[in-house]
């Protein structure tokens, strides 16, 4: 029997930030985000944020038809993110809805994105869940790497596995780049840029190159990567071999990308998920004892354990970026 996840939270500490992404669309990342949030909200204050700037639909999985405020109100009306978070019928769950009718939202200006990233990290919830878009562009990757735990949802198919690996590689390179900027190791930035253009190879090789040029900085960057812990969920599982895939991908990432990936678990395929979407009915509340719902709850337990055992030091926005953001925001108002 699953224990209440709320027992692992210290109410005086800062809440956990999780990001759920996928290397490609259609893997079920939004299903995972919505149902993790619904399950956790039975015990904890949870905020789910639709950070899929191009095609937001988190509200659909939560059964929400009408949205008064969306992420666009935060970005363009100078509201605070806490003000945009709408309380759901579930007393401990809040939703920051995405906006699909605002031109340019998928290509945010730098200062708007920095403001959004800062306020996401400051949310007053025991758990904040980001549902991010598919692909490897910076908007997706930047949301993923600020989280305490990044969760990548994959399907048991070759394209999904390939895209998941490329996503983690892109996130690792972006993390290295941000860390270099944070620690002002500017002479290594050119190496990152050149590496992006090369045929994919082990990131261990890049770290070895750094070690030859600047051993102290290389150790510092390796320490940053040790805190980056992408987690894998295999969704739409139909057979036992599909479950093994999650462990294989985690091993592949550990071997070539110099980060420690963890396999969280697998979620069985269930035709009722699509039926719930058509009826605007949240799945985990309408089918609480199904195999898929039980798998989601077990994944939530594992995520809480991982979050409790170790937290990453967040990549906060640089002061220069913050000041520039304030200036641009005042100009746009």
**pLDDT tens digit sequence for 141-164:** 999 999 999 999 999 999 999 999
E-state strands within 90-229: 93-96, 127-134, 149-154
Task: Give this prediction's pTM.
Answer: 0.86
Pairing label, strands 127-134, 46-51: parallel
Instruction: Name residues whose C-beta falls within 8 Å of residue 201's C-beta, 6 or more positions apart in sequence.
Output: 256
pLDDT at 201: 61
> What angle separates helix 138-145 from helix 158-182, to the nearest 10 degrees?
70
| Total number of domains constituting the chain | 1
Domain presence at residue 188? no
Mean pLDDT of the chain: 84
Domain presence at residue 54? yes
How large is the average pLDDT for residues 177-187? Answer: 86
The pLDDT of residue 110 is above 90? no
The pLDDT of residue 119 is above 50? yes
pLDDT band at residue 104 using 50, 70 and 90 as cut-offs: low
How large is the average pLDDT for residues 47-59? Answer: 90
pLDDT band at residue 265 using 50, 70 and 90 as cut-offs: very high
Domain presence at residue 248? yes
In whole angstroms, what is the distance from residue 153 CA to residue 4 CA?
A: 24
Residue written as token pair 């002002």? 184
- Residue ranges making up the domain that contains 265: 5-161+229-332
In whole angstroms, what is the distance from residue 124 CA to residue 113 CA?
A: 19
Domain presence at residue 172? no
pLDDT at 312: 54
Task: Give the strand order in the sheet containing 230-237.
Answer: 86-87, 93-96, 46-51, 127-134, 16-22, 149-154, 230-237, 262-268
Domain presence at residue 215? no
Tokens found for residue 247: 């462990």
Domain presence at residue 263? yes
The pLDDT of residue 237 is above 70? yes
Residue 30 sits in a domain whose CATH number is 3.40.50.300
Instruction: Name residues whose C-beta falls within 8 Å of residue 275's C-beta, 6 or more positions apart in sequence.
Output: none
Cβ proximity of 180 and 221 under 8 Å:
yes
78: left (phi over 0), alpha (psi -120 to 50) or beta: left
pLDDT digits (tens, 9 = 90+) for 283-311: 999 999 999 999 999 999 999 999 988 75
Domain presence at residue 199? no
Tokens found for residue 180: 């270099």
How large is the average pLDDT for residues 277-285? Answer: 92
Domain presence at residue 301? yes
């Amino acid at each position: 029997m699953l224990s209440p996840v709320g027992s692992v939270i210290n109410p005086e500490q800062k809440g956990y930030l999780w990001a759920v992404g996928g290397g490609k669309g259609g893997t079920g990342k939004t299903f995972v985000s919505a149902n993790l949030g619904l399950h956790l909200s039975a015990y904890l204050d949870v905020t789910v944020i639709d950070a899929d700037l191009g095609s937001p639909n988190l509200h659909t999985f939560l059964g929400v038809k009408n949205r008064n405020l969306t992420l666009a109100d935060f970005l363009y009306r100078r509201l605070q993110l806490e003000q945009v978070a709408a309380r759901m019928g579930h007393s401990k769950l809040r939703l920051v809805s995405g906006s699909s009718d605002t031109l340019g939202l998928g290509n945010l200006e730098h200062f708007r994105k920095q403001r959004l990233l800062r306020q996401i990290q400051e949310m007053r919830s025991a758990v904040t869940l980001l549902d991010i878009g598919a692909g490897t562009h910076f908007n997706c990757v930047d949301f993923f790497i600020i989280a305490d735990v990044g969760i990548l949802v994959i399907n048991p198919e070759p394209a999904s596995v390939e895209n998941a690996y490329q996503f983690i590689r892109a996130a690792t390179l972006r993390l290295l780049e941000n860390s270099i900027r944070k620690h002002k190791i500017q002479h290594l930035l050119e190496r990152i840029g050149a590496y992006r253009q090369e045929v994919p190879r082990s990131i261990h090789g890049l770290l070895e190159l750094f070690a030859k040029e600047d051993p102290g900085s290389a150790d510092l960057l390796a320490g940053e990567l040790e805190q980056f812990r992408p987690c894998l969920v295999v969704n739409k599982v139909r057979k036992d071999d599909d479950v093994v895939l999650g462990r294989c991908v985690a091993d592949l990432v550990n071997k070539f990308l110099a980060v420690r990936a963890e396999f969280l678990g697998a979620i069985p395929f269930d035709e009722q998920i699509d039926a719930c979407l058509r009826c605007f009915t949240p799945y985990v509340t309408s089918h609480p004892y199904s195999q898929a719902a039980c798998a989601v709850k077990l994944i939530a337990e594992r995520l809480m354990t991982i979050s409790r055992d170790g937290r990453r030091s967040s990549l906060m926005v640089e002061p220069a970026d913050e000041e520039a953001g304030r200036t641009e925001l005042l100009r746009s108002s």
